[in-house]
Amino acid sequence: MAKQELNRRQFLKSGAIAVGAMVAVGAGVGYLQKVTTEQRINQKFLRPPGAIEEKTFIYACIKCGLCIQICPVHAIKFAGIKEGLAYGTPYIDARSQACDLSCDSIQCVETCPTAALYFVPFKNAGEKAIEKYDKTHAADPNYNPFPVQIKAMKRQVKMGLAKVNEETCLAVQGKGFKGIPRGTTFKGINRSPYGNAPKATPLRDKQYDEKICDVCVKECPMGEEALVLDKQNRADGSVAYSPKVLDGCVGCGVCVMVCPTEEPSIIVEPVKA
């Protein structure tokens, strides 16, 4: 009888330990998942256009690589194995290669099979732009709604927001720039908003001779609605210049890529979920 009671106690004790262990493991997994997710968000990856909020994105993305394959400027990369839950998800290193929006159709979003890159806002914006255009241009012999549709879709990108470092910016220091922004060995490409280039071309092929550096302003694919060179008259009679980021900035990162200072004097802070 005593032996049976001892076995019963041991069984209950073992069961309690097992349950406690499972609870601890469950809590540990939950904690690790929470910590990993928070760490992933704090790393501030610049996601491709249309990315949904970060905590959902890292689970919605199936790491298929279609967005990477279809990007014409090869701006999108896979996150490395050290990135925890974010491993294999797409991101953009704008300093190496920005999203210059030269695909015009936001192909990465359109090709995403899970809506981790969500296309609906782009579709709606494009349709509304065409409807508005039709009201005033339907009888125009040169009717062409596509430019306004493309522009409206690009306004929906909203990957992040550019921020100027005034301590290192050449324009703020009153300095100009002459030469090739990132040197002859830099492999980045973009399609300049000026000119008639049908596709992106190497940045190393572009020469500048600016009395006040405004390379980021000139190469911004969203133009004056996103980035301008702000001129201010000081009290002492001198003139100050500074790139000014406006509400039209979509965070594409072209300004970061083309900035000629050793460390970019303008960065893009990703959208925070």
State residue 4's pLDDT score.
53
**SS3 at position 170:** coil
pLDDT tens digits for range 209-263: 999 999 999 999 999 999 999 988 877 877 889 999 999 999 999 999 999 999 9
Query: Torsion over CA of 55, 61, 62 and 64, rounded to 10 degrees?
Result: -150
State residue 94's pLDDT score.
98
State residue 28's pLDDT score.
45
pLDDT tens digits for range 107-122: 999 999 999 999 999 9
Mean pLDDT of 80-100: 95
Instruction: Tell me the whole-structure pTM to 2 decimals.
Output: 0.82
The H or E element containing residue 245 is strand 239-245
